[in-house]
Structure 1
Amino acid sequence: MLPPPTPVDEPRRLQALRSLCLLDTPAHERFDRIVRAASHLFRVPIALVSLVDEDRQWFKARQGLDALQTPRDVSFCGHAILSSGSFVVPDALLDPRFHDNPLVVGAPFVRFYAGHPLRAADGSRVGTLCLIDHQPRDFTDADRGALADMAGWAEVELNALNEREARTALEQQERFFEVSVDMLCIAAMDGTFLRLSRAWSRTLGFTEEALYSTSLVDLALEEDRAATALNLARAREGAPVLQFEHRARCADGSWRWLQWNAVPDAEEGLLYAVARDITQARALEEERQRVERMKNEFISTVSHELRTPLTSIRGSLGLLSGGIAGPLGAEVAHMVGIAYRNSERLLRLINDILDLEKMESGRLDLCMAATEVAPLLAQALQAHQGYAAEYGVHLEVKVDAPDARARVDEDRFNQVLANLLSNAIKFSPQGERVTLSLTREDGTLRVEVADHGPGIPESFQPRVFQKFAQADASDTRKRPGTGLGLSIAHGLVARMGGTLRFVTRAGEGTRFSFDLPECTPTPPGPGA
């Protein structure tokens, strides 16, 4: 970590900062409004007006952060005040100045930072308007320009709105409203437009005069007006943020989908908002959903049609293997055995597909009941002993809470364990062990399956729970599977009130685990 250097004009800068008389003063709506607007405009969880004192950065306004201040020697803003333009860190973990910074490796977990310096009346850079995200991201030249314009707004407030600063802020606001590709507006609480950016005319085709003569509600399609008016009513009732969508009329008779992010100001009776045209994005999403529905319906139909004859074929092959038609020759018995095993594999695949289809359509019914968990683990381990023997893998169970109970569907719980155990066995080297464990932690029960295999490749980790996802999807892969097991297990655990997760290390193995609320024993009734 590299602490920020001290500016060459530090004495003058500190004097200018203290002359503002803002340090350690209560929050003020004029600054809070700025950080709320910045957070929503740039879609970041944290936005701050920060003042850099001698040994700290103190936050005059905060959105998304509880801390009032942080030390200056770990601050990003201490670096930002060294230059006249925006200071941007796309990914702090990749920046040698910040990769081990306590604000990066710990709360608030800064990954992206963009700060523009704020100047006092004499030009001293006394603080910043800054944006923080927990994910790395790009920051375009247009974003830099927008941040600089918003920083100009903050500077006006910082310097008590004297005439010169107010004129500068007005010019910057005008430029901001003119060049923004988003549809910016300031409206009254009844939806009357008071200020609109030029993007409104470009998007909807109306002249500015026509737009100012209508309102947000009147602009919506008739079937969307009631919902739009309801959102405005929420603003009047004190809702801190509004997020909604509606269809808006265009001058040529067509309509566009608009997505709104708005911040009401109850004191002034105003609504500060940005609307984005999401018509194309919605059309693409609707088409994707339509294709997904068609695919799921096709898979479901085919699976249902296949299961009945396949069940019959599997049963017939099982009878033949059992000798119902008399002894079979060695070669015939071998071929019948292969056919029987493959029919079982196909039937499992079809059942998996149908389970997924039921989960996604909300038609999967679970029979939840308070159940002792330890016996279910023992059953799962016993059921997989033969499979583990084929791979030369040893199974073990560790139970630290033998009498613990949880509300589960026994069959589906066993299905989750079967998927996790079979996966762990397949990817364990010969002679290694797979451990199934049950522990109790703060009123919850943790079920874990741990192996000592190669671990999950980093490139595949984001797709572990996706349907048909496999780290090795080639036709020559060594380990069989459809890529459905973990997706099904993830969905079933969620339906039973838990979250399936994993921890993996290359060359050391993988641990899949999930937590379930423990059922407290029911006290005996009177006379029991």
Structure 2
Amino acid sequence: MIAPPTPDNETKRQAAVEKYKLLDTMPEENYDNITSIISSICNAPISLITLIDKDRNFLKSRHGIDMSESPRELSFCGHAIAGEEEIMIVKDARKDVRFKGNPLVTDFKAIFYAGVPLVDSNGYKLGTLCVYDHEPRELDQHQIKSLKAMAKQVMSLFEERYKTFELEKLQIKLQDRNNELKDFAGIVSHDLKAPLSNIIMITQLLNDGDEKLSKQAKEYLGYLKESSTSMSRYIDGMLMFYRSDELVTDEYDSVSYVDLIEDVISMTVLDDSTKIHYIPENDTTLLTNEIALKQILINLVTNAVKYGDKEQTIIDITLKDHLHEYEIIIKDNGRGIPTDKIDSVFKLFFVAAEEDRHGKQGTGIGLATVSRLLEHMDGTISVSSEVGKWTEFIIHLPKREI
């Protein structure tokens, strides 16, 4: 008997084996299906998916035997990965100098062997897909072709597994980063809001109470107050954006559509310059996250009011009750959104208009928060517009079951 030689690239090959995190894992149906199928195609009682570890041959999938590993020095597969052939075939191991006296031959009657190396994208041979039989024999061309094809399928499963692990690591990293940003937003809110409020209050007091201030000084105080107020809006917006997921829980509320719209109207309509139209007769009980949905509607309606350019802002809100989802349409008669900016309106910090109707710069956070909230609610939002005439947002929310 001759022990399998160690490949020249063994250190890197071993690292390639370990990166898939398959060693010592339990049997899995996807792999067991392959060994079962290839055993049938090759008419062989035993078929295996093996991984060559440092000193053992780990059997990721086994058909026809009840063992999980064997010593590497005894393995046929160790020879298969050390060679250059696409497939190693041993017709009669009793007559092969490499396997004479091998316990797998003498005790387990492993007489015939055919194994195809499992080769990763970097050329490292990790193990094999192989079949054994208890008597001398050969494989026909159809069986050889099938064994090679199934080996590639095994490698595809390995690669999918690796990509899944990498995606999970990335998701964890992104979640950690998002949590860090959320914490940062909270710290900024706490540490900056109070000083900003003091600045705003002091500038207002100075502007209103000191008659000795020159006109220019009062203008500077006005600029300072406006800048502080703008900064405060940014802080509030960022805090809402990074805490948006906290508004969405697994518990759903039974919400009257009419009550919901009336609440939104009371929070957004300040005078007769804004009219919100909806059909109260179409009242429906929505099973949804009330706070999150209310925040979404307030944000959209507030935007319509702020960026309206008509003497009277008119907003139509329509609810369509479909079989599996609710469709909520918010359409205004405002200035509209240019075509080249439509695809960017839900991006964080993107501002479609230079200023609102009061001459203030937007933060570019509101619509990003709306999109983020809907994502947490498994919903979607789209927008269409005609410049100078109207803008329409369409929300799709899945129906929830009690």
TM-score, normalised on structure 2?
A: 0.51
The structure-2 alpha-carbon separation of the partners of 1:318 and 1:347, relative to structure 1 and needing over 3 Å to count, comes to closer
Indicate the structure whose relative CO is greater, using CA pairs within 8 Å and at least 6 residues apart: 2
Asked if 1:418 corresponds to 2:298, the answer is: yes
Please tell me whether the aligned partners of residues 320 and 327 of structure 2 are also in contact (alpha carbons under 8 angstroms). yes
Partner Cα separation in structure 2 for residue 490 and residue 235 of structure 1: 43
Which residue does the alignment assign to 2:189? 307
> What percentage of aligned pairs have identical amino acids?
16
Task: Determine which of 378, 381, 392 is the counterpart of 2:265.
Answer: 381
Asked if 1:429 corresponds to 2:227, the answer is: no
Q: 1:484 deviation in Å?
A: 1.6
Higher alpha-carbon deviation: 311-320 or 402-411 = 311-320
Partner Cα separation in structure 1 for residue 326 and residue 166 of structure 2: 42
Partner Cα separation in structure 1 for residue 307 and residue 392 of structure 2: 12
Q: 1:512 deviation in Å?
A: 0.6
Q: 1:307 deviation in Å?
A: 1.5
Please tell me whether the aligned partners of residues 287 and 400 of structure 2 are also in contact (alpha carbons under 8 angstroms). yes
Instruction: Kindly provide the amino acid, as one letter, of the partner of residue 224 in structure 1.
Output: L
Structure 2 unaligned residues grouped into runs of 5+? 1-7, 38-117, 127-145
Please tell me whether the aligned partners of residues 385 and 395 of structure 1 are also in contact (alpha carbons under 8 angstroms). yes
Q: 1:404 deviation in Å?
A: 1.8
Partner Cα separation in structure 1 for residue 221 and residue 340 of structure 2: 40
Asked if 1:462 corresponds to 2:330, the answer is: no
User: C-alpha offsets along residues 49-75 of structure 1, whole Å, 9 cap, x if unaligned?
Assistant: xxxxxxxxxxxxxxxxxxxxxxxxxxx
Asked if 1:499 corresponds to 2:380, the answer is: yes
**Richer in helix (by share):** 2
The structure-2 alpha-carbon separation of the partners of 1:371 and 1:228, relative to structure 1 and needing over 3 Å to count, comes to same
The 5 A counterparts of 1:117-266 are: 221=19, 223-225=21-23, 226=25, 230-233=29-32, 248=120, 250=122
Which residue does the alignment assign to 2:74? none
Instruction: Kindly provide the amino acid, as one letter, of the partner of residue 355 in structure 1.
Output: M
Which residue does the alignment assign to 2:87? none
Partner Cα separation in structure 2 for residue 457 and residue 228 of structure 1: 57
Matched position secondary structure for 1:429: coil
The structure-2 alpha-carbon separation of the partners of 1:505 and 1:277, relative to structure 1 and needing over 3 Å to count, comes to farther
User: C-alpha offsets along residues 349-377 of structure 1, whole Å, 9 cap, x if unaligned?
Assistant: 22332333345xx6555464212222232
Please tell me whether the aligned partners of residues 317 and 340 of structure 1 are also in contact (alpha carbons under 8 angstroms). yes
Instruction: Kindly provide the amino acid, as one letter, of the partner of residue 303 in structure 1.
Output: A
Task: Determine which of 337, 362, 371 is the counterpart of 1:490.
Answer: 371
Partner Cα separation in structure 1 for residue 372 and residue 185 of structure 2: 20
Structure showing greater Rg: 2
Asked if 1:439 corresponds to 2:319, the answer is: yes
Partner Cα separation in structure 1 for residue 33 and residue 238 of structure 2: 44
CA RMSD after TM alignment: 5.3
Q: 1:318 deviation in Å?
A: 7.0
Aligned residues: 278
Please tell me whether the aligned partners of residues 504 and 511 of structure 1 are also in contact (alpha carbons under 8 angstroms). yes
Please tell me whether the aligned partners of residues 352 and 484 of structure 1 are also in contact (alpha carbons under 8 angstroms). yes
Please tell me whether the aligned partners of residues 233 and 363 of structure 2 are also in contact (alpha carbons under 8 angstroms). no
Partner Cα separation in structure 2 for residue 491 and residue 294 of structure 1: 17
Structure 1 unaligned residues grouped into runs of 5+? 1-204, 207-213, 239-245, 255-267, 523-528
Instruction: Kindly provide the amino acid, as one letter, of the partner of residue 231 in structure 1.
Output: N
Partner Cα separation in structure 2 for residue 283 and residue 445 of structure 1: 36
Q: 1:344 deviation in Å?
A: 4.5
Matched position secondary structure for 2:195: helix
Asked if 1:355 corresponds to 2:153, the answer is: no
User: C-alpha offsets along residues 10-62 of structure 1, whole Å, 9 cap, x if unaligned?
Assistant: xxxxxxxxxxxxxxxxxxxxxxxxxxxxxxxxxxxxxxxxxxxxxxxxxxxxx
Partner Cα separation in structure 1 for residue 285 and residue 291 of structure 2: 15
